Amino acid sequence: MQQMRPHALLLAAPLLLGLAAAFPAPIPAQQTKTITILIYDGKTGRPLIPDNYVIRIDHLDAVHNEWLTLKDDGTGIVAVPSGATFLGVQGAYHKSLDLYINCDAAMEKDTSTLHWYSIPDILSTGVAASNECYKGKYADATHVTPKPGQFVFFVRPIGPREALDD
């Protein structure tokens, strides 16, 4: 067996390093995280088909519907950008001219208040927003257990009180 000379190793090392640089190990692609949005009637608990959603992140007013895919059954799929930590969602109806009242804010003085939900919580366990629109006998009809990656919220149409505020 022929023994390799030390100076041959020195000559071969840059060649091997060059080959390693030319063919780097593949870097795993960053997975896009998605959240499924489900909207339900706050009184009946039945799924609704909104005309659109209004998607906001991280307590900012900017609307980011470019991350949204709206399915025919009313389900929204949001491609969450990396680094996003909070999600705010509203549903639109009447050809997207009116926004539903989110039932998590139904008991507040300003029913247009937007509540924010943790994106890591939605992705890991799923989150169902509270339903303050209707109590009592409607509470059981509107109980939904979300799956990981799902954000479930309840809504009602604008009522006479809110219509007067516009």
Interval 70-83: pLDDT, tens: 999 999 999 999 99
Residues of the chain with pLDDT under 70: 1-31, 136-139, 160-166
- Write down all domains in the chain, each with its CATH number in brackets: 33-158 (2.60.40)
3-state secondary structure of 30: coil
HSE of 116, CA atoms in CB hemisphere, 13 A = 12
Torsion of CA 27, 87, 121, 106, to 10 degrees: -170
* pLDDT, tens digit, 9 for 90 and up, residues 21-42: 555 555 445 567 999 999 999 9
Please report the pLDDT score of residue 96 as a whole number. 83
For the chain, give percent helix, strand, coil, nearest 5. Answer: 25, 30, 50
Nearest to 153 by CA among 105, 110, 113, 109: 105
Please report the pLDDT score of residue 19 as a whole number. 47
Phi, psi of 136 (to 5 degrees): 70, -125
